[in-house]
């Protein structure tokens, strides 16, 4: 069964710093990997989707990489802002349309 | 991007009552929708897959008689929590893929259920 792990569980950084969030998965047979943002008590907002054949995707200050063979993905956030404070979830799609979610990283950007 | 809505956004009910949660895809059709639950400070756990025109498929450990799912149309799926108990209190989120296996999955804003 696919297991997705995110490290660290929580992270606090001062505003302006660049940071990296990590995601690992146990089964490399995936269709794609998606990074989401979740604000407290809210639903999920999709940030980036990386297909299994891709190595990275970029959107603004966000860059996500995928190394399928090693079962790892990273989300790089440049020049962090207080508005980036949220929980970040990664999820892999391993078939049948459903997603396996990681445990999340709770990010706090300190002004 | 595609939009998925949920109604209600929050509900408080007494133990023993039933609660219905709606999930709608607003600008696309979804033959499949997914229902997740999320306990505080935990990640999302898939409960069931809702299939338009056929029965839902439930994940192991999820009681199908307690969590009734009806995929009434290509844009609507409902989750009914029957005879709710305090341990059913959770955040319920639905999602729908905009396309096939390689497409983004879009999530509703979630429904906070509190059972007294």
Q: Could you read off the pLDDT of B43-87 as tens digits, one per residue? A: 899 999 998 888 999 999 999 999 999 998 999 999 999 999 999
CA–CA distance, A69 with A18 (Å, rounded to integer): 26
In this predicted structure, the answer to whether residue B21 has a pLDDT above a threshold of 60 is yes
The partner residues of A50 in beta bridges, in order of sequence, read A33
- Contact list in B for residue A96 (CB cut-off 8 A) is 49
pLDDT at B98: 76
Q: What percent of chain B has pLDDT over 70?
A: 97
In this predicted structure, the answer to whether residue A11 has a pLDDT above a threshold of 90 is yes
Q: Mean pLDDT in chain A? A: 93
Cα-based distances in Å from B46 to A53, A60, A97, B93: 26, 30, 11, 9
Q: Which residue of A has its CA nearest to B6?
A: A43
Cα-based distances in Å from A45 to A39, A111, B66: 9, 23, 29
All residues at 6 or more sequence positions from A89 whose CB lies less than 8 Å from its CB, including other chains: A6, A35, A36, A37, A38, A44, A101, A102, A104, B43, B44
In this predicted structure, the answer to whether residue B101 has a pLDDT above a threshold of 60 is no
Neighbouring CB atoms inside 10 A of A95's CB total 10
Give me the mean pLDDT over the B10-25 stretch.
96
- Select the residue of A93, A102, A104 nearest B101 (Cβ to Cβ): A93
- Select the residue of B46, B95, B102 nearest A51 (Cβ to Cβ): B102
pLDDT at B1: 65
User: In angstroms, how far is CA A55 from the centroid of its own chain?
Assistant: 14
pLDDT at B72: 86
In this predicted structure, the answer to whether residue B100 has a pLDDT above a threshold of 70 is no
Q: Are A102 and B107 a contacting pair at CB < 8 A?
A: no
Give me the mean pLDDT over the B88-114 stretch.
87
Q: Are A107 and A8 in contact (CB under 8 A)?
A: no
All residues at 6 or more sequence positions from B52 whose CB lies less than 8 Å from its CB, including other chains: B30, B31, B32, B71, B73, B74, B77
Give me the mean pLDDT over the B91-115 stretch.
86
Q: What percent of chain A has pLDDT over 90?
A: 81
Q: What percent of chain B has pLDDT over 90?
A: 71
Q: Are B21 and B33 in contact (CB under 8 A)?
A: no
CA–CA distance, A6 with B77 (Å, rounded to integer): 31
Q: What is the DSSP letter of B26?
A: S
Q: Are B93 and A103 a contacting pair at CB < 8 A?
A: no
């Amino acid at each position: 069964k696919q297991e997705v792990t995110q490290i660290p569980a929580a992270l606090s950084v001062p505003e302006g710093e660049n940071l990296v969030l990590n995601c690992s998965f146990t089964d490399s047979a995936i269709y794609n990997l998606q990074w989401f943002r979740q604000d407290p008590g809210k639903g999920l907002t999709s940030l980036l989707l990386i297909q299994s054949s891709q190595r990275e995707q970029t959107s603004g200050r966000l860059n996500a990489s995928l190394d399928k063979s090693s079962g790892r993905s990273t989300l790089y956030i440049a020049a962090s802002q207080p508005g980036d404070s949220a929980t970040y979830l990664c999820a892999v799609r391993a078939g049948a349309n459903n997603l396996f979610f990681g445990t999340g990283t709770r990010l706090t950007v300190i002004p | 991007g595609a939009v998925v809505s949920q109604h209600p956004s929050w509900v408080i009910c007494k133990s023993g009552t039933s609660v219905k949660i709606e999930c709608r895809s607003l600008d696309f059709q979804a033959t499949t929708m997914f229902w997740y639950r999320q306990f505080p400070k935990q990640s999302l756990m898939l409960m069931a897959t809702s299939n338009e025109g056929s029965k839902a498929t439930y994940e192991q450990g999820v009681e199908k008689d307690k969590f009734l799912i009806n995929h009434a149309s290509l844009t609507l799926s409902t989750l009914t929590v029957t005879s709710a108990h305090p341990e059913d209190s959770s955040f319920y989120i639905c999602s729908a893929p905009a396309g096939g296996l390689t497409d983004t999955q879009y999530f509703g804003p979630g429904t906070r259920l509190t059972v007294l």
